[in-house]
Structure 1
Amino acid sequence: MAKLVINDIEEKNRIAPEIYGHFSEHLGRCIYEGLYVGEKSDIPNVNGMRKDVVEALKEIDVPVLRWPGGCFADEYHWKDGIGDKSKRKKIINTHWGGVVEDNSFGTHEYFELCKQLGCKTYINGNLGSGTVQEMSEWVEYMTFKGVSPMAELRKKNGHEEPWKVDYFGVGNENWGCGGNMTPDFYANMYRRYQTYVRNYDPEKPIQKVCCGANVDDYHWTKHVLNTCYDHTPEQLHGFMDHISLHYYVHPEGWDIKGSATDFSEECWYKTLKKALYMDTLINRHSSIIDQYDPDKKVGLSVDEWGTWFTCEPGTNPGFLYQQNTMRDALVAGITLNIFNKHCDRVKMACIAQMVNVLQAVILTEGEKMIKTPTYYVFHMYRHHQGAKLLESSLSGINEIGECEWIVPEITESVSKKDDIVTITLNNLSATDKKDLDISFVTGKEYEVVEANIVTSSDMHAHNTFDSPEVVKEITFKNYKTVKNGLKVTIPACSVVEIRVR
């Protein structure tokens, strides 16, 4: 019999809300049409931001939003995106689709969006093609309250008070699109540039994010940290607060990727197996970081993650627009459970991307908007934000799958906040339900206060603009309360949340 034992005595590390963060880049229809339609649009908006999208995102408690990239960040020159919109510089977005970028969404618009969402801010600076002065002046423009050229320019452009920058990324993917740098070269550039990311308000310090590795490039992590930690003060607080990691799931490989909606059962398991690889990546990168930061003061920020399939037929291949099925829901559930369990080191993560790009939580088409299966997983998992992780262990779990793509039947994570225990479960089987006994170490009796599920009998199930509720979050009823726990039957191809008190 499969069993889940929860240690409800000892609370472990706090699950940082920022683990449930999102990423928005000037890419395809993520910002334009997705988040921002402009003040004059017929689509209902508040200061240019789509009302329907913002309201939907508020329901999942978005904790932090990363912007403006991505690869776009290291060719973004922030002064192009301020001031009179009719006079802003138009450029070609050479990374994504070769379309005209009119810079109508810039610094002021980003902070307006974060204000509407009620989330923290994560700005990614231009190290690849920008100067130290440019980065320094941007920080001054955004955060300096006193008398200075950049503060005066901000006021001239209509914002008297400075904003709060919670996180600042010093470059992005500098091993690739951000400059094709070696780890030692980037690390020295990081040391230099971060010096000028000033904390103008000591009570509102900016947390600095160093560009970490692509997938399993442990050489990058080792050499960046070795150079960054060479000849630095013992107290590194404020020098490096996070180091990033990027990992995308490509079931058929980088070149082919594969369809988002037309896939075999073998590909289902292949995708989930690759999603589980996140655990290996975090363990191995963390073991390197531990050598330099044994006290875990530097957070691992997985600020780009998700599925990456071949774009939808008939769409601009540079826009990376893909559908979102139950397979994506399982990838989200698996990955978020992994982040929860590594909350001692993982302090932030940003799914890529928020709207209309890659594993989006929302898709739009003109005035229409749909929530994807991934959206509903984030909605259920929002209860983990800020909670304390509880130790949990599975037994009696079989391995399933095809060929070399073998995965466990169930993955889980458990947390506690305000006397409520939140249990999130994933059934990775495409075909078979699973019975599970849940018990608690203390032997206390718990009552279920809420239980929800995202599931379908068809692993390809997804929402469309004609049928927007094929997959949605519904009440979960396949459980019964027993002495010291629960008996649960988890349907195949499902993500479940059970909250008890």
Structure 2
Amino acid sequence: MKKINLFRFPLLFLVLSFSTLQAQTSVVISNDVDAPVINRNIYGHFAEHLGRCIYGGLYVGEDSEIPNTDGVRNDLIEALKNLQIPILRWPGGCFADTYHWKDGIGPQEDRPTIVNQWWGGVTEDNSFGTHNFLNLCEVLGAEPYLAANIGSGTVQEFADWIQYVNHSGESPMANLRREYGREKPWGVKYWGVGNEMWGCGGNMTPEYYANLYRQYATFMTNWDNETGLYRIASGANVDDYHWTEVIMRDVPHHLIEGVALHSYSFVEWGDKGDAVDFNEAQYFSTMQTALKMEELVTKHSEIMDKYDPKGEIELIVDEWGGWYDVQEGTNPGFLYQQNTMRDAMIAGVSLNIFNNHSKRVKMANLAQTVNVLQAVALTDGAKMILTPTYHVMEMYKVHQDAQLLPVEFDAPEYTFEGESLPAVSISASKDSIGVLHISAVNIDAENENEVEFDLSGFDLDGFNAEILVSETLQDHNTFDDPEKITPSEFKDFKFKKGRLKMTLPPFSVVVLESK
């Protein structure tokens, strides 16, 4: 950027100063003992057999020179442990409704190959299967979330999978599990009954799927899982409110625990734009779709409230994140993209929305874990980098299982070419030992925003804080410069007599922790 001597142009200095001046935003944070707990599963992840997410991403094989545990690369294991990853969804996605789980068990040399018809038409050898995934979840300390094949599978196949992973007694599937080296069942709780049944799962109507769901859910036997099975219905595509209406109306509530919702952030569906080479108009458009999550969660929750006023059925946003054109020179079916400060903005505002709607939203799964869409990590052979999205997830992990603290404020506007969006997004929580955390995002591409918090209802001594920010929205970590964007200490705030005042730089994420 060309430097301008503002002292030579005093009038210009006044104009520029006025253009970046933002009114102070006042935020009231309530210490509401009846507020819900932010379910840790809101910070969940999603790993599909798609591109290099599994093969070459998570899984490199036991014979790889890359340090690994049972074929899963150790650097990624440690990175996900650091995130305190609570739940991991697998094997899809669209892939789930073409996956036959028995192809991925038993001796490696006996496993058949499969053509991944959804993602690139590549041939896979099924070397990563049920045992590999569930053992990985144990290593990570994460709950497994299995998405079952409804589109091209059978009720019997589904029931057998549940028996295989959950039954401790004598049975054909339990004995087969023992034959393949696992005595103790894994006790899988979370099950997706199909995926995107309105699209790649079978292009079904909601009425047809509701009946099909009832059939499959009926034969989902609990076996030895003391906590019971948690059955998640394939939910709406973005704002298809009729889909949610039919599921809530037509499925008996004793057969269902959760309803899914999928929504991605992009410039526009037909032209998603480049992941790095984007302008402010494309950034603004992407943030419009990201912030629409507030409307989606609100309206789908209202439908659920109508049929389930006690809130016993939960909203599961098991696919969300930024989606752009693939990186030039890569397989278009692999959905590999870079990850910039724009993605940090998507992550920050999305997680704030989920936190603030934690009365109904009990799980969310970022798409996807590694090398696909809005990944938290990217790999290149033995190299691995952590993305800006990873760092937001790491900063926000303090909200897991903490009590929500409701926030009230009128957000300042981020205006571009006559359109406006709320510039500031905030959520807050109090953990089990009384420590308060506030996460704040300023999505404005040009202007800082001053925010003052009324914390008079809390007994606090002060705050520590960290910030994720960079020079341009397009900045990203690379294999040559893996730490270009990392969190750093944030000091631009003052706390006095229950008032916390801070200035948020343009496109930044800040998390504060009370002392």
Q: Is TM-score (shorter-chain normalized) higher than 0.5?
A: yes
Which residue is equivalent to 1:482? 496
Equivalent in 72, 87, 91 of residue 64 of structure 1: 87
Secondary structure of the corresponding residue to residue 328 of structure 2 = coil
Contact 1:212–1:245, Cα closer than 8 Å, also in 2: yes
* Alpha-carbon distance in structure 2 between the residues aligned to 1:21 and 1:202: 21
Distance 2:257 2:416 in 1: 41
Contact 1:16 1:348 in 2 (8 A): yes
Is 1:403 the counterpart of 2:417? The answer is yes
Q: Report the AA paired with residue 423 of structure 1.
A: I
CA displacement 1:86-133 (0-9 Å, x = unmatched): 111101101001111110000000011101111001000000000000
Partner residue in 2 for 1:246: 262
| 2:427 equivalent to 1:413 | yes
Contact in 2 for aligned 1:446/1:484 (Cα 8 Å):
no
Distance 1:58 1:404 in 2: 44
Deviation of the 1:390 alpha carbon: 0.7
> How many Å apart are 1:440 and its aligned residue?
1.2
Identity %: 50
2 CA distance for matches of 1:443 and 1:155? 54
Query: Is structure 2 residue 186 aligned with structure 1 residue 163?
Result: yes
Q: How does 1:221-370 map to 2 (within 5 A)?
A: 221-229=244-252, 236-237=253-254, 239-251=255-267, 253-370=268-385
* Local SS of the residue matching 2:452: strand
Partner SS for 1:124: strand
Offset at residue 9 of structure 1 (A): 5.0
Q: State the Cα distance separating 1:360 from its structure 2 match.
A: 0.3
CA distance in 1, matches of 2:105, 2:227: 24
Taking the TM superposition and a 5 Å limit, the aligned residue runs for 1:126-165 are: 126-165=149-188
- Determine if the alignment matches structure 1 residue 442 to structure 2 residue 457: yes
Q: Single out whichever of 486-495 and 373-382 deviates more from structure 2.
A: 486-495
Distance in 2 (alpha carbons) for counterparts of 1:70 and 1:435: 41
Partners of 2:122 and 2:457 in 1: CA distance: 60
SS in 1 for 2:286: helix
Q: Distance in 2 between matches of 1:181 and 1:433?
A: 47
- Give how far 1:68 is off: 0.4
Report the Cα offset of residue 471 of structure 1: 0.7
If each structure's strand is expressed as a fraction of its own residues, which one has the higher value?
1
For residues 250 and 488 of structure 1, what CA distance do their matches in structure 2 show?
A: 30
1:8 lines up with 2:22 in the alignment: no
Q: Which residue does the alignment assign to 2:236?
A: 213
Q: Residue 95 in 1 paired to residue 111 in 2?
A: no
Among 498, 502, 508, the alignment partner of 1:494 is 508
Checking the alignment, whether the CA contact within 8 Å between 1:39 and 1:47 is kept in structure 2 is yes
User: Any idea what SS the aligned residue of 1:470 has?
Assistant: coil
Would you say the 8 A contact 1:306–1:358 is kept in 2?
yes
**Residue 408 of structure 1, CA deviation:** 1.5
Residue 232 of structure 1: aligned partner: none
Change (3 A) 1:202 1:51: closer
Shift of residue 377, structure 1, vs aligned partner: 0.3
d(CA) in 2 for partners of 1:337, 1:18: 14
Partner SS state of residue 408, structure 2: strand
Greater C-alpha Rg:
2
For residues 9 and 141 of structure 1, what CA distance do their matches in structure 2 show?
Answer: 44
How far apart are the structure 2 equivalents of 1:436 and 1:474? 20
Counterpart in the other structure of 2:197: 174
Q: 2:98·2:151 contact (CA, 8 Å) conserved in 1? A: yes
Give 1:205 shift: 1.3
Q: 1: distance between equivalents of 2:479 and 2:32?
A: 46
| Per-residue deviation, residues 261-308 of structure 1 (Å, max 9, x unmatched) | 111112222211211100100111111111211100101000000010
1:468 aligned to 2:482?
yes
1:110 matched to 2:133? The reply is yes
Q: Give 2:40's aligned residue.
A: 17
Q: Which secondary structure state, in structure 2, belongs to the residue aligned with residue 347 of structure 1? A: strand
2:31–2:458: 8 Å Cα contact kept in structure 1? no
Partners in 1 of 2:28 and 2:325 — Cα distance?
40
Deviation at residue 446 of structure 1 after TM alignment: 3.3
- CA positional deviation for 1:255: 1.8
Distance in structure 2 (CA, Å) of the matches to 1:119 and 1:438: 35
Q: Which amino acid aligns with 1:92?
A: V
Deviation at 1:405, TM superposition (A): 4.1
Separation (CA, whole Å) in 1 of partners of 2:409 and 2:241: 30
CA displacement 1:371-412 (0-9 Å, x = unmatched): 0000000001000000000111124x4212213542112110
Partner of 2:97: 74
Q: Which amino acid aligns with 1:375?
A: Y
Partner residue in 2 for 1:53: 76
Deviation of 1:486 (Å):
1.6
Question: What is the CA-CA distance between 1:256 and the residue it aligns to?
Answer: 1.3
Secondary structure of the structure 1 residue equivalent to 2:35: strand
Residue aligning to 2:468:
454
Q: Secondary structure at the match of 2:378?
A: strand
Structure 2 counterpart SS, 1:33: coil
Q: CA RMSD in A?
A: 1.2
Is the partner of 2:473 in helix, strand or coil? coil
CA deviation vs aligned residue, 1:222-249 (integer Å, no higher than 9, x gap): 12222213xxxxxx34x10000000011
Q: Is the 8 A contact 1:325 1:459 kept in 2?
A: yes
TM-superposition CA deviations, 1:409-465 (whole Å, max 9, x none): 2110010012111100001111222222122142634321x3111111211110010
Contact residue 16 and residue 347 of structure 1 kept, 8 A = yes
Distance 2:162 2:32 in 1: 45
1:36 aligns with 2:59: yes
1:136-195 Cα distance to aligned partner (Å, 9 max, x none): 001000100100110110000000111121200010001110011111110111000011
Please list every run of at least 4 consecutive aligned residues from structure 1 whose deviation after the TM superposition is greater than 6 angstroms. Answer: none
CA distance in 2, matches of 1:255, 1:434: 33
Assess if the C-alpha contact under 8 Å between 1:446 and 1:485 holds in 2. Answer: no
* Separation in 1, partners of 2:299, 2:79: 36
User: Are residues 138 and 443 of structure 1, via their aligned partners in 2, closer, same or farther at CA, if it must alter by over 3 Å?
Assistant: closer
SS state at 2:174 partner: helix
Residue segments in structure 1 that go unaligned for 5+ positions in a row: 230-235
